[in-house]
Amino acid sequence: VEVSPPHGPGRGATPNRRLGDVRGVSVPSPPGRRARLSAAVTSRLSSAAREELRRRLLGLIEGHRVVIFSKSYCPHSTRVKELFSSLGVECNILELDQVDDGVSVQEVLSELTNQRTVPNIFVNKVHVGGCDRTFQAHQSGLLQKLLQDDPAYDYDLIVIGGGSGGLSCAQEAAVLGRKVLVLDFVVPSPQGTSWGLGGTCVNVGCIPKKLMHQAALLGQALTDSRKFGWEYSQQVKHNWGTMTEAIQNHIGSLNWGYRLSLREKTVAYINSYGEFVEHHKIKATNGKGQETCYTAAKFVVATGERPRYLGIQGDKEYCITSDDLFSLPYCPGTTLVVGASYVALECAGFLAGLGLEVTVMVRSVLLRGFDQEMAERVGSYMEQQGVRFLRKFVPVVVQQLEKGSPGKLKVVAKSTEGPETIEGVYNTVLLAIGRDSCTKKMGLEKIGVKINEKSGKIPVNDVEQTNVPYVYAVGDVLEGKPELTPIAVQAGKLLARRLFGGRLEKCDYVNVPTVVFTPLEYGCCGYSEERAVEVYQKENLEVYHTLFWPLEWTVACRDNNTCYAKIICNKLDDDRVIGFHVLGPNAGEIIQGFAAAMKCGLTKQLLDDTIGIHPTCAEVFTTLQVTKASGLDITQKGC
């Protein structure tokens, strides 16, 4: 397929009969030579030919003000042509039913735009969409904005949010030669906590959480060490201040590293709060209230989430969240953790591991959305480690009894199953009941970006594009996508490559592995058992499972029937592994490798054919024999 030069054929030249280049009119095929279109055309395209066609299509789009991919008999295409004609706008129209290889063109277009239908409209390099979206853009004023000749934007891309996804996208776009601005501003928590560049993961999430989890594991290792011959007489105690200072120093170095990386890649960074004021224009407000406006051709929303509060008396005045915990200047003491999310259980786990008295108040189930058998096993182990669980209760009032660092708080809670109320006194109350997307105070409604009014999440298509063509979103603000740092990083990088590098790869949100860093780690990939039954039906599944005893636990005489492995197989698909679950030490290191195997189509037979590494915990997955359906005993003997 050939494309004419960007500004049309030279004087006296005949427009191409294949991929035509015309202004305002269609290019008919010569008499008797109507294009023969069939699905086979696409399948016959070699990868090299497909890449060349993609390159030429991008050249056509980038070289013209308005490009309409149409079909001559399509009434929706006709409406769009009439709209642009009424606006006095010259268009380049390609009638796919009247050119050779029209099917191939439409197939490659669908890869570029995630739209399989015509008309398919581009205005000043921005994909507007089909007929409905073009008329919506016209009614909202967006189309007129896009039609401005050679709009002089300040930036090619503005990224709102300096977390994992936003920084990944910004840096990749800059590497591809684009002018990029990152706006990032942390609104202090009700307790006054704020932090530097890098987002939740680096500052108040994954990084400090894993380091405090490690601190707790070291305490357990000290206990185990006596069984391995280590002798020490002095009392061993934990110093909260020493730990938090070291962790915050590490986080500070990461903040600086991010700023340095942006500078090296010539990405502009401004510590200001971004808010849309009109199409393609955003207002940036710094900490002193000074306002500056910037414009861009494209925007990426990557503002993430913040912890949710209960909405009861005393919650914002006296309670803390994960925003505050990791830099808390004093040991939290006796702690009530409200919630049963992974954040709640991880925090409760490492606080208990550091020797604190910890209670977890649970409204309904542990780890909602995760495999519930695994969740209950997580909770059971935490109880063995001294964490107390209050089930089916929710706080209704938090009162301050004494000021201090920490002080004393009284919590009144009500049963979710009846009129019963209970009271308790704690030094610290940590709320971990969920997170809300930071999308409702950034002017998205002014430019027509749709959000879920209840959750604040942003619906996008499978190329992370919102309903407003030049606005994209990545990370935790996305509706229906996993809220995980590596997902945001991958999505941001691939988005930049599609927007500015001519690439086609999309982020794969299927079979994403994750780990809950509770005292005994829980790693999983794929379906929970409940979800697998819902999707595939119980009779079509085979679940293999076993308890196992890590070698490191044997000499230490730790429980031999706590660690657990489970895989869920689809009997109708060659026993394909569709769910992979492990509860045990270093679960994250185990699940990462098996997640790659699942991407490659892992089956039970392939696991059986794999030679295990001995002695390791992971090798248990190469020797699974007992099915749940058999009812056979899986307990281990010893110690």
In the numeric block, the tokens 């749940």 are attached to 628
Is the peptide bond preceding residue 615 cis, with omega within 30 degrees of 0?
yes
Of the candidates 208, 221, 215, the one whose C-alpha atom is nearest the C-alpha of residue 238 is 215
The C-alpha atoms of residue 533 and residue 527 are separated, in whole angstroms, by 9
> Peptide bond before 486: cis, by omega within 30 degrees of 0?
no
What count of other Cβ atoms lies within 10 Å of the Cβ of residue 233? 4
For tokens 């649970």, name the residue: 362
CB 393 within 8 A of CB 413: yes
Indicate if 76 belongs to the active site.
no
Q: Would you say 1 and 19 are in contact if contact means Cβ atoms under 8 Å apart?
A: yes
What order of strands is seen across the sheet that includes strand 576-583?
Answer: 514-516, 522-526, 576-583, 563-570, 541-548
Give the number of other CB atoms < 10 A from CB of residue 157: 27
Give residues with Cβ within 8 angstroms of 419, minimum separation 6.
none
CB count in 10 Å sphere of residue 33: 11
Is the Cβ–Cβ distance between 573 and 542 less than 8 Å? no
Token digits for 250? Answer: 């590490």
Task: Please state, in angstroms and rounded to a whole number, the distance separating the CA atoms of residues 341 and 334.
Answer: 20
The catalytic residue among 7, 76, 138, 614 is 614
CA-to-CA distance for 95 and 27, rounded, in angstroms? 7
Burial class from Cβ neighbours inside 10 Å (0-12, 13-18, 19+) for residue 159 reads buried
Instruction: Map tokens 């991958």 to a residue.
Output: 490
Place of tokens 């896009």: 146
- Determine contact, residues 109/70, Cβ cutoff 8 Å: no
SS3 at position 361: strand
Q: Which residues contact 207 (CB under 8 A, 6 or more apart)?
A: 201, 250, 251, 254
What distance in Å separates the CA atoms of residue 487 and residue 508, rounded to the nearest whole number?
9
Distances (CA, A) of 491 to 157, 290, 310, 390, 444: 16, 32, 32, 39, 21
| Extended strands (E) in 154-259 | 155-160, 180-183
CB contact at 8 A, 8 and 78: no
- What gap in Å lies between CA 271 and CA 585, rounded to an integer? 40
| Burial tier of 150 (Cβ tally within 10 Å: 0-12, 13-18, 19+) | exposed
561 phi/psi in degrees, rounded to 5: -130, 50
Give the tokens for residue 570.
């689809």
446: left (phi over 0), alpha (psi -120 to 50) or beta: alpha
Which residue type does 278 have? Answer: E
- The structure tokens listed for 272 are 């200001």
Specify the residue for token string 């995980």.
484
Catalytic residues: 614
